[in-house]
Amino acid sequence: MARAFLFVLDSFGIGHAPDAAAFASAGADTFGHIEAACAEGHGDRDGVRRGPLMVPHMKSLGLAHAGALAAGRDLSHLPVAHGFHGAASETSRGMDTPSGHWEIAGVPVSFEWSYFPETKPTFPPALTQAIIEKAGLPGILGDCHASGTEIIARLGAEHISSGKPICYTSADSVFQIAAHETHFGLERLYALCEIVRVLVDPLNIGRVIARPFLGETARDFERTANRRDYAVPPPEPTLLDRVEAAGGRVIGIGKIGDIFAHQGVSEVRKAAGNMALFEATLKAMREARYGDLVFANFVDFDTLYGHRRDVPGYAAALEAFDRRLPEALALLREGDMLILTADHGCDPTWSGTDHTRERVPVIGAAPGMKAISVGIRPTFADMGETVAEHLDLPAGRHGTSFLDELANDA
């Protein structure tokens, strides 16, 4: 009675990818650098955490083995892993969230996204004017590359007084709009994003993101859990579509529904913060039936700690996740498969605030199968194809399942 669970630790890379130099990421290693920083005392923060990085449950599944494999380090000193483990390289041309998730789901992105230039203003004047006219706005604020928390702190008060939304971008193919949930209105923000989505389609921009926040001053502005992504749909059917076509359900936890433009997602369950997302995931695991896929994204690693270059915060979040992992493992039954992975890197020790091009972990458990190394996979799509074969679904056009490797060694 097969069920499958995919957990994406958003941005948890484990070593720079072979093509990292082309993305200014040669030497990046989210996991390795966090672990090293903690060992050297640079991961300490009063009231947050202290000491070496403690993630024993992920390491028991083979996280350290996967990290050593990805980074080319010696594995001989490591204890035996109790889960299948390996690493995967990305073949998609970007290192953004949709590309990583779509490739995990069996559809690498072979085309180039478009990006806004690092100029001020960053958006084409014709686009800005069209947004203002079609949405009936008094104007926009920002119009630049920025960190979301920084630009809200800087422009939030002016936004409230002027009624102008805060529009900004990043190194990703994205148009982000921050607005106050009550002063501007949450539904008005969503409606604005729908207008912008149509306007940026000809520009080949991957996502328009609503970034609502609350608070009255820069000291207490805080983004809420009502974020919504308006993404371009995947270019071809993904693993999610195959699950639904076979009669199974895809339960998307967190932003999974938005990432896939709600294509192939049967149910959307959102929550604020990694721990609330973990609770929602556990509930979905308990309710999952034969043929179902629970696909969860744990976003805090990326948005709260990776982009903010917060090593202690990232380390504490990993440790909190690891403490909850046995609860998920305890829900696995014969015929289940759980894979933990990531969609890209976001090394908090790196320069700048953008993602880093890294290999990602492929670690997990499948009751009845022995723990083996699945090596370095040439594409994230191998994970999607493994889940597809596990659920007895037709094979996709990309990637190679490693299920036979697990079964043959069982």
With a cut of 90, say whether residue 130 has pLDDT above it.
yes
Q: How many residues does the chain have?
A: 410
With a cut of 60, say whether residue 342 has pLDDT above it.
yes
With a cut of 60, say whether residue 410 has pLDDT above it.
no
The CA distance from 53 to 131, in Å, is 46
- The residue with tokens 């069209």 is 130
As given in the structure block, the two tokens for residue 81 are 């892993």
> With the CA atoms of 303, 305, 309 and 314 taken in that order, what torsion angle do they form, in degrees rounded to the nearest 10?
-150
With a cut of 60, say whether residue 408 has pLDDT above it.
no
CB 133 within 8 A of CB 110: no
Q: What is the pLDDT of residues 280-300, one digit of tens each?
A: 999 999 999 999 999 999 999
pLDDT above 90: percentage of residues in the chain: 88
CB 298 within 8 A of CB 10: yes
Q: What pLDDT was estimated at residue 409?
A: 43
As given in the structure block, the two tokens for residue 169 are 């971008």
Pairing mode, if any, of strands 174-180 and 166-169? antiparallel
Q: What pLDDT was estimated at residue 230?
A: 94
Helix (H, G, I), strand (E, B) or coil at 84: strand
With a cut of 80, say whether residue 166 has pLDDT above it.
yes
How many other β-carbons are positioned within 10 Å of the β-carbon of residue 224?
Answer: 14
With a cut of 90, say whether residue 171 has pLDDT above it.
no
Selected residue with higher pLDDT from 408 and 85: 85
Residue type, 303: T
As given in the structure block, the two tokens for residue 251 are 């339960």
Give the mean model confidence (pLDDT) for residues 106-116: 92
Give the mean model confidence (pLDDT) for residues 29-50: 96
The CA distance from 380 to 89, in Å, is 6
What is the Cβ-side half-sphere exposure of residue 170, based on CA atoms within 13 angstroms?
Answer: 22
Rounded to the nearest 10 degrees, what angle do helices 311-329 and 30-39 cross at? 110
Give the mean model confidence (pLDDT) for residues 11-25: 95
Q: What pLDDT was estimated at residue 1?
A: 65
CB 305 within 8 A of CB 349: no
Q: Check the CA dihedral 222-228-230-236 and report its sign.
A: positive
The CA distance from 211 to 182, in Å, is 13
Helix (H, G, I), strand (E, B) or coil at 290: coil
With a cut of 60, say whether residue 109 has pLDDT above it.
yes
Q: What pLDDT was estimated at residue 161?
A: 97
